[in-house]
Amino acid sequence: MIRRILLPCLLACAISVAAHAAETPSAFVQGLGNHVLSLLDRQKTAGEDASTCFHKLLVTDFDIPTIGRFVIGTAWRGATPEERKAYMDLFENLVVDVYNDRFQDYSSEGFEVIGEMPENAKDTRVRSRIVRPGKPPVNVEWRVRAKDGGFRIVDVSVEGVSMTLTQRSEFASILDRNGGRVQALVDRLAEDRVKRDAAKVEAHKDQPPRPETACP
Amino acid sequence: MMLRVRLYFLAMLAMLLAQGLVAPAVAAQPSGDISVKVYDPIEPVNRFIFGFNDILDRILIGPVARAYHAVLPEFMQNVVRDFTRNLKSPLIMANEALQGDGDGFGRAFGRMMMNTTVGLGGLIDVAGMHGIPYESEDFGQTLGVWGVGAGPYLVLPVLGPSNLRDTAGLVVDAVADPVSEVADATQRDEDLQWVRIFGAIDSRARSENVISDLRRNSVDYYASMRSIYFQSRNAAIKDGAGTANIPDYDEETP
């Protein structure tokens, strides 16, 4: 019975999500925001674990290979294929962990797109606002790139601070202090990943296992 | 007193202009694309002070701010924030005027009038509730609007990230603040100190999420703070967000 009602609904929802996918950069960002809020809501109200869904969403909606290339700067050119691969894997993991962590602060809040402004032939800057009851709104700007018939995010700026630029200057600092060796950055990222994984285990140590959210 | 203030002002200005000539490379960045490298010639010293501040925050300021947040009811915390902000009104108005921002001056003036009267001497941000939100202005920002470059990055003991321009701005704001003058003249300077200490604790408490996020998620916490400070000051000066000019790597020939 439940299945008979749920299945058409699921199909309809999937179609509406797909139809929404590639209209305008603004619609794309609004869709992403709604998606994140609904996942946060499921985590909160149903006690589910949506980290797999967040992972999928970040990998499909963010242009992680482009961001990764940009934030490592010119050191990319001197990197061996093995170093590039190791770096990209670790970078993807970092982005997923960091944004997963950041999203958690924004549960039960409103998200609205205010406007968009073309930056160049491919990129659009989409301005949005996170509305929090009783607190000043947070201004977030998304740099959205048209790619493969859809859109991908290449940068997020919160109150004028670009996450991509911040990460690039962090990586530059580590590379500078290690004579520009990519392997040093890779080692550092690997070290940090071990620490984050340990912290995740620690954080959920005393909690009962949560069911995984079925990703839309 | 006024003479001292004016001399100070001129000396600072001369120093900043000289510095602006010496390091013009950091002055103007094309809008929309902020350079990633922050000019940081005394990085080892800055890192040392940053480390000291971080320890101080972990053992003292952070715990005090968390206790403040946990113990004080939210409306009292807002009173602390709004009262300290209202005391900054004369400085904000002065800086809006120096930046040639008439609308900003009007908003700051309106806020001060409303909050000081209807808002019970600044305890309640009535203006904010009626759609005139608080805007922070300082002399470092004013200098930035005038075209003075940031100069070398500096980490100040206890106060944290800054640069030469903004440090000079801090000094000018501190010396020129009429509120301090009035407090001095009426022997209320100690009360004012306490208000400012509470204001600082309040603002630290409000940054708790951001600070713990950066500590958790930064690959290089120092470099991350340095970049964030640089970008947010630029955004405040230019009244607009910066963004990275990220190339399209797919178009590159391999």
Q: From the first residue on, what is the mean pLDDT of each consecutive set of 10 residues in chain B (254 residues)?
A: 49 51 40 64 97 98 98 96 97 96 96 96 94 94 95 97 97 95 93 95 94 92 96 85 77 60
The pLDDT score that the predictor gives to residue A3 is 52
**Domain carrying residue B98:** 2-241
Question: CB distance B218–A165 less than 8 Å?
Answer: no
The pLDDT score that the predictor gives to residue B241 is 53
The pLDDT score that the predictor gives to residue A5 is 53
CA dihedral of residues B52, B53, B58, B59 (deg, nearest 10): 70
- Number of folded domains that form chain B: 1
The pLDDT score that the predictor gives to residue A174 is 95
B247 domain-assigned: no
ipTM over 0.90: no
The pLDDT score that the predictor gives to residue B23 is 45
B251 domain-assigned: no
| DSSP secondary structure code for residue B177 in this structure | -
The pLDDT score that the predictor gives to residue A116 is 95
B249 domain-assigned: no
B253 domain-assigned: no
For residue A185, give both structure tokens.
């950055």
For B222, the enclosing helix (H) or strand (E) is helix B221-238
Lowest-confidence range among A49-63, A185-199, B14-28?
B14-28
What is the maximal distance between C-alpha atoms in chain B?
72
**Is A154 a residue whose pLDDT tops 80?**
yes
- The packing angle between helices A81-103 and B208-217, to 10°, is 160
B252 domain-assigned: no
CA-to-CA distance for A132 and A106, rounded, in angstroms? 8
B246 domain-assigned: no
Residue type, B113: M
CA-to-CA distance for A117 and A167, rounded, in angstroms? 24
The pLDDT score that the predictor gives to residue A4 is 53
Q: Which of A91, A143, A147, A165 to mutate to test the interface with B (most CBs of B within 10 A)?
A: A165
Closest chain A C-alpha to B14 CA, distance in angstroms: 30
B243 to chain A: closest CA residue = A162
Could you tell me the CA-to-CA distances from A83 to A47, A91, B3 in Å, in that order? 39, 12, 62
Q: Which of A74, A88, A129, A161 to mutate to test the interface with B (most CBs of B within 10 A)?
A: A161
B58 domain-assigned: yes
Alpha-carbon radius of gyration of chain A: 19
For B10, the enclosing helix (H) or strand (E) is helix B2-22
A70, A159, A188: residue with CB nearest B246 = A70
Chain A residues touching B37 at Cβ < 8 A? 169, 172
Chain B residues touching A162 at Cβ < 8 A? 34, 231, 241-244
- Do residues A141 and A128 lie in contact, with contact meaning Cβ atoms separated by under 8 Å? yes
More confident residue, A206 or B167: B167
> What count of residues does chain A have?
216
Chain B residues touching A174 at Cβ < 8 A? 219-220, 223
- Average pLDDT of span A10-25: 56
What angle is formed at CA B235 by the lines to CA B231 and CA B238, rounded to 5 degrees? 135
Three-state DSSP string of A142-201: EEEEEECCEEEEEEEEECCEEHHHHHHHHHHHHHHCCCCCHHHHHHHHHHHHHHHHHHHH
The pLDDT score that the predictor gives to residue A185 is 97
B230 domain-assigned: yes
